Structure 1
Amino acid sequence: MELEEFHITIVLCCYNSADRLQPTLEHLARQNVQQDLKYEILLVDNNSSDHTSEFAKSTWEDLQSNIKFRVVSEPDPGLSHARKKGIDHAKGELIIFCDDDNWLDENYLQIAFDFMKKYPEVGVLGGKGIAVSSVEFPDWFSTYQGDYAVGVQALESGDVSSRGYIWGSGMVVRKNEIQSLYNAGFNGSLTGRKGSDLQAGDDSEICKWYLIVGKHLYYNERLIFSHFIEEFRLTIEYNKKLNQGFAQSHTAINHYDFIIKLLKRKRMSFFKIVSLLTIFLLEKNRMKLASFLEILNRTSITFHKPTKKILKSRKVFLEHEKQKQ
């Protein structure tokens, strides 16, 4: 490690988490890693009003772990703000986002590290969630478990870029890449969960940035975490609020999808234009010329300011990546 002190930073974002944290911390302390793999825990206290930070520090001391444990505060409410604070303060090459109710399997860190080292083209890595609770799950849960970041994210391990997103729970990214995205001008418009306000889409937004700059999303079924779901979240009313949060993010997410499709379309249109122009020159066919001009007209798009800003950020990021090579 030339620049970073650790191989992995686990960014643990918390809001009034004291009642949920103990098993989460116990699982982090039990990680089965090779001796030379160093990791740290960075808890981000996102404007908690309980004693989250104090409880976490005390619990970690009781666990008698020699793993580095730090706490930073983020006063602006919202999961996206907490994650950004964690990124800024992380000292690891890799960042793993862990929610306060995520119990990472004991091999999670080692599998994630080995995979990301082997596949540099992967921008975002995600795993499989298993639902656990202190109560019996309702009949409808198996159908809607994806709303809780539970289940598989694909039929098998592989590239899921076409899916368009990876769950924020257990998400793995490289610190230098996600920092470069922020530095290039990518900024979140979705704040994510804020206490009882179930805003959503902030993790999808991060994934869209990676897709826009040509990185891949990948699902690894060997990466397993348990998601502890409290009883109050297993009601139809709560699930409806959860989906309202998803719906509110659609405008922003759809805008990113438009840009992703646009970038693909521009690449495809180039080959179509060359093909049609060749046919026109060879055959001097007026109908072919009309088709050629029609495609040119459809390819000409006037961008509004948000689109221009995102494309400018993409250009800055790619230029920075080119300079590093």
Structure 2
Amino acid sequence: MKPGVTVVICTFNGAALLPETIRHITQQRVESNIPWEVIVIDNASTDDTSQIARQEWHKYRNTVPFSVLYQPRQGLTFAREMAIEEANYEYVLFCDDDNWLNTEYVDTAYHLMLQHPNIGVLGGHGELVYEVPPPSWAQTLPMFGNGPQETRSGKVKRNIVYGAGSILRRSAFLRLFKAGYKPFLTDRNANSLSSGGDSELCYAIALANFDIWYDDRLRFKHFMPKARITWSYYTRFFKERAQCFDVLIPYSILINFGSRNTLSFSLRLMRLFLFTLRQIMPLYLNLLLLRKGSEADKVNRLKLMASEARLLSYRRCFNMLRNFLEILRFQQKELPAQTERSPQHQKKKLKLGVS
């Protein structure tokens, strides 16, 4: 793969958001010897997204290669797959249509990925910028891609970073694709708030023996329109997001906890269920103690919605077990020959004295 950066903007009906996002990309300060390009994936928009994207880019007379592609199959996962397939360079930077990258983002991402060939996905630090002042309860839970993702720059413990501003090693994904990898989740689909596709992608890359990293120097603003900081939006988000737990919990139990059979999976799932149950009981008690409608009550209800969504997902334990066994089979039968060639695996072999 050619070292370089492909900046990708996957968008659905993003005409109103794209101008500011594109303006920040045109202001990137990138060393002249670093090749890079920009691709916009119009994910079956019904507005003038494609036209606005081209119009805004050409307005700045930037000489960096730029293209707009149309993905008729709705779903952020499908848009990302098209971007990875069409990218000309090894490092694919996913810039959401509401992300404003700082001027050094592309340059910093390039050098980090080049210097650390074991990185499969690299995450940055988003800072929320609101269209209107948000209510205090809306700032209590990490719903959106923002804030530090680890206590220090380097490998993240949970093996996931949020998709906004993340950089993917294209060869790592293609290795998975060649082995027959197919994601379970479609992620955001049109106006649906289903999510989890970025986490699944990270877990899949981790299956191929690559590291998931975070670096605090990668900074960007994450714009929040006023429509996304309403009580009804938060309620929808937690309800529709719950669908992804059937996939993400099995991945986590396999990768983060090392379960390798049905028994160890079931025991770990039970422990996670009991942990969530212990978390949720004080929240139910607070419903009786806090004044209804107060800020404290709203914060408690948000936490309760998030915990209830996870708790109810454990009822679909058989779906989780089926997904776990499928992921495990893929790792054991399809990936061994592929992971033999990953940089991280080669380092382990050298440490063990194997030629």
Q: Under a length normalisation based on structure 1, what TM-score does the superposition of the two structures give?
A: 0.82
Structure 1 residue 265: Cα displacement? 6.3
Give matches, 1:1-325, under 5 Å. Answer: 3-4=1-2, 7-144=4-141, 146-160=142-156, 162-260=157-255, 263=258, 304-305=325-326, 307-319=328-340, 321=342
Does the 8 Å CA contact 2:14/2:49 hold for their aligned counterparts?
yes
Task: Point out 4+ residue stretches in structure 1 off by more than 3 angstroms.
Answer: 261-266, 301-307, 319-322
Does the 8 Å CA contact 2:109/2:167 hold for their aligned counterparts?
yes
In the alignment, the residues of structure 2 paired with residue 310 and residue 241 of structure 1 have an alpha-carbon distance, to the nearest angstrom, of 34
Structure 1 residue 133: Cα displacement? 2.0
Does the 8 Å CA contact 1:94/1:175 hold for their aligned counterparts?
yes
Does the 8 Å CA contact 1:212/1:259 hold for their aligned counterparts?
no
Structure 1 residue 99: Cα displacement? 0.7
- Tell me which residue corresponds to 2:286: none
Does the 8 Å CA contact 2:121/2:211 hold for their aligned counterparts?
yes
Amino acid at match of 1:68: P
Q: Secondary structure at the match of 1:131?
A: strand
Does the 8 Å CA contact 1:43/1:70 hold for their aligned counterparts?
yes
In the alignment, the residues of structure 1 paired with residue 258 and residue 164 of structure 2 have an alpha-carbon distance, to the nearest angstrom, of 28
Larger radius of gyration: 1
Q: Secondary structure at the match of 2:113?
A: helix
- Cα deviation code 1:166-224 (max 9, x no counterpart): 00001111111111112212211100111210111100001111222222111111100
Does the 8 Å CA contact 2:124/2:214 hold for their aligned counterparts?
yes
Q: Which runs of 5+ in 2 are unaligned?
A: 265-320, 347-355
CA 1:304/1:137 → structure 2, altered by over 3 Å: closer, same or farther? closer
In the alignment, the residues of structure 1 paired with residue 114 and residue 341 of structure 2 have an alpha-carbon distance, to the nearest angstrom, of 21
Q: Under a length normalisation based on structure 2, what TM-score does the superposition of the two structures give?
A: 0.75
CA 1:261/1:57 → structure 2, altered by over 3 Å: closer, same or farther? closer
Structure 1 residue 314: Cα displacement? 2.2
Structure 1 residue 106: Cα displacement? 0.6
Percent of matched pairs sharing the same residue = 32
Q: Secondary structure at the match of 1:99?
A: coil
Further displaced range: 312-321 or 131-140: 312-321
CA RMSD of the aligned region, Å? Answer: 2.4
Does the 8 Å CA contact 2:28/2:106 hold for their aligned counterparts?
yes
Does the 8 Å CA contact 2:253/2:259 hold for their aligned counterparts?
no
In the alignment, the residues of structure 2 paired with residue 185 and residue 255 of structure 1 have an alpha-carbon distance, to the nearest angstrom, of 19
- Tell me which residue corresponds to 2:284: none
Further displaced range: 147-156 or 83-92: 147-156
Does the 8 Å CA contact 2:254/2:260 hold for their aligned counterparts?
no
Amino acid at match of 2:236: K
